[in-house]
Amino acid sequence: MEIDRFFPSSKTCYLCLYQMFDMPLDVRKWTCLSCGTHDDRDKNAAKKIRAEGIRQLLVSGTRTTAQRGEVSPKGGCKSVLTHSPVNSEVLTTAPRESR
């Protein structure tokens, strides 16, 4: 998964989503003009990138793509995934009987 390189991660407040229009790269800490949150530019960007990645995963329907059967890394060679027949009911534990 890749986040668009022009995604405004460091200029958008992670709390209220207010976007600063002009923020030079030498500004490392800033205060949101909308909600007053004080934040470090890099920490704010990390929070926004994480949130955007989660949003994309939820929107893309990863279950379908994860069960596709083939994985093609950027290097080239394809590997085939094998799926073990796991039933979610098997993973639950029954209460133990008291002796």
pLDDT tens digits for range 47-60: 999 999 999 999 88
Nearest to 27, CA basis, from 15, 42, 14: 42
The answer to whether residue 91 is domain-embedded is no
pLDDT at 20: 86
The answer to whether residue 97 is domain-embedded is no
The answer to whether residue 98 is domain-embedded is no
Nearest to 44, CA basis, from 58, 25, 33, 30: 30
Question: Within its chain, how far is the Cα of 57 from the centroid?
Answer: 7
Total tally of structural domains belonging to the chain: 1
- With cut-offs at 50, 70 and 90, classify the pLDDT of residue 95: low
- The whole domain housing 35 covers 1-83
The answer to whether residue 73 is domain-embedded is yes
pLDDT tens digits for range 11-38: 889 889 898 888 888 999 989 999 999 9
The answer to whether residue 90 is domain-embedded is no
pLDDT tens digits for range 66-82: 555 555 556 665 555 55
CB 74 within 8 A of CB 60: no
Tokens of 27: 């500004």
pLDDT at 6: 83
This prediction has a pTM of: 0.52
